[in-house]
């Protein structure tokens, strides 16, 4: 039996196994408040060693899609508390993924209909999801405005406020900082979206600065043992690109090493797509070695397209945790199925984003009492 199914400790997080449910955007939180079925949805999946919530906005400005949840208003936090209570009662561990989308937004989703904010005024060639009358549509993101240097401490403070509220009012075991997939922090990291001439643009050192400052501030507020971070060194998601990914992310990882993080969540290749990108090579073992050599002790969580066999192999080869995304939509009891070598259910793509219980909480477990 693979150690995939044995308990593991990541910082302050005590996990029943090494399997994580990756964050999955489901657009079922009207008014940014987790909807009526969120409690069942997460409780059904509580046998994962770690549940990572869908990406959740730290502020109204940080929101970029219709009906995604937030961490910035009392009713949002109260709804999350119902979720964390249910997961804890089922023996699970749950962190929330803290999200600021930066330029991946639309004026109709921003406070006062304003332009989304970004490191630079460069529009992403990508779409976001709006929902009208329950019907999702994919629309081009709006042109962003560049953030003033003086605005950055306010955004760091939004992350800190959200992290404190998450582990305080909302009862989460910790937080994951979303620094992947072309959202605000990743927009700062990568040269294609960052043309700044202040201390937050230009050199690798400067482009890494914002993400490292956010992480250090969150760690100072709630303790590194309750903080993870998600990185996607080479994903083309949301139109991000960088010409020196290896040097950039080894620098980021060396910067994270002294912070005592619970885990590093690394998306290998294109998010939800190919693990190998011929035009975007990346050596993950070298990146991990750079982190360890700098003293980093966080759990190394791998993600992207794993199945039971490749996950077991990854753990044998030194990964600490393996995250599964899409398989968790249709398989609430994924841990039990992988353990039994049982077949996995496919999920219905038409109900991934938006809607109600259908395609959300109606996927059965093999064993009815899960």
In the complex, the smallest distance separating the C-beta of residue 341 from ligand 8OZ, rounded to whole angstroms, is: 29
State the Cα–Cα distance between residues 280 and 311, nearest whole angstrom: 23
Q: Which is nearer to ligand 8OZ, 65 or 300 (CB)?
A: 65
State the Cα–Cα distance between residues 194 and 207, nearest whole angstrom: 8
SS3 content of the chain, % helix, strand, coil (to 5): 35, 15, 45
In the complex, the smallest distance separating the C-beta of residue 28 from ligand 8OZ, rounded to whole angstroms, is: 12
What are the backbone dihedrals phi and psi of residue 13, each rounded to the nearest 5 degrees, phi first? -95, 120
Residues that bind ligand 8OZ (CB under 6 A): 25, 55, 65, 181, 237, 271
Strand partners, 30: none
Q: How many CB atoms lie within 10 A of CB 10?
A: 28
- Marked catalytic residue, from 159, 183, 263, 306: 183
In the complex, the smallest distance separating the C-beta of residue 242 from ligand 8OZ, rounded to whole angstroms, is: 17
Q: Which is nearer to ligand 8OZ, 53 or 194 (CB)?
A: 53
Q: How many residues does the chain have?
A: 370
In the complex, the smallest distance separating the C-beta of residue 2 from ligand 8OZ, rounded to whole angstroms, is: 28
Q: Which is nearer to ligand 8OZ, 236 or 332 (CB)?
A: 236
DSSP assignment letter at 257:
G
Q: Which is nearer to ligand 8OZ, 300 or 353 (CB)?
A: 353
State the Cα–Cα distance between residues 356 and 211, nearest whole angstrom: 35
Q: Burial of 223 by CB count in 10 Å (0-12 exposed, 13-18 middle, 19+ buried)?
A: middle
For the question of residue 41 being annotated catalytic, the response is: no
Active site residues: 183
């Amino acid at each position: 039996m693979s150690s995939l199914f044995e308990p593991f400790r990541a910082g302050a997080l005590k996990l029943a196994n090494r399997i994580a449910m990756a964050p999955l955007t489901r657009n079922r939180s009207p008014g940014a408040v987790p909807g009526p079925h969120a409690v069942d949805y997460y409780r059904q999946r509580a046998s994962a060693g770690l549940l990572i919530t869908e990406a959740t906005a730290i502020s109204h400005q940080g929101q970029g899609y219709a009906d995604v949840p937030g961490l910035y208003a009392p009713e949002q936090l109260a709804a999350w508390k119902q979720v964390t209570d249910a997961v804890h009662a089922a023996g699970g561990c749950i962190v929330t993924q803290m999200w600021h989308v930066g330029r991946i937004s639309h004026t109709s989703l921003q406070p006062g209909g304003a332009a989304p904010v970004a490191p630079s005024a460069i529009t992403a060639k990508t779409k976001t999801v709006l929902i009208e009358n329950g019907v999702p549509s994919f629309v081009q993101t709006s042109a962003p405005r560049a953030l003033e240097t003086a605005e950055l401490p306010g955004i760091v403070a939004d992350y800190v406020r959200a992290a404190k509220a998450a582990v305080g009012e909302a009862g989460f075991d910790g937080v994951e900082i979303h620094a992947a997939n072309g959202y605000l922090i990743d927009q700062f990291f990568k040269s294609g979206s960052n043309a700044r001439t202040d201390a937050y643009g230009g050199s690798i050192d400067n482009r890494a600065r914002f993400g490292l400052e956010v992480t250090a501030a969150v760690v100072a507020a709630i303790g590194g043992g309750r903080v993870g971070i998600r990185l996607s060194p080479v994903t083309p998601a949301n139109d991000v690109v960088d010409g020196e990914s290896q040097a950039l992310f080894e620098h980021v990882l060396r910067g994270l090493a002294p912070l005592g993080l619970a885990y590093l969540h690394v998306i290998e290749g294109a998010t939800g797509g190919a693990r190998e990108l011929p035009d975007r090579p990346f050596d993950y073992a070298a990146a991990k070695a750079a982190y360890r050599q700098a003293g980093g002790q966080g759990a190394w969580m791998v993600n992207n397209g794993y199945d039971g066999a490749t996950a077991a192999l990854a753990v044998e080869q030194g990964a600490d945790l393996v995250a599964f995304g899409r398989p968790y939509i249709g398989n609430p009891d994924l841990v039990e199925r992988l353990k039994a070598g049982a077949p996995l259910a496919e999920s219905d793509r038409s109900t991934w984003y938006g809607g109600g219980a259908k395609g959300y909480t109606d996927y059965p477990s093999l064993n009815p009492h899960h």
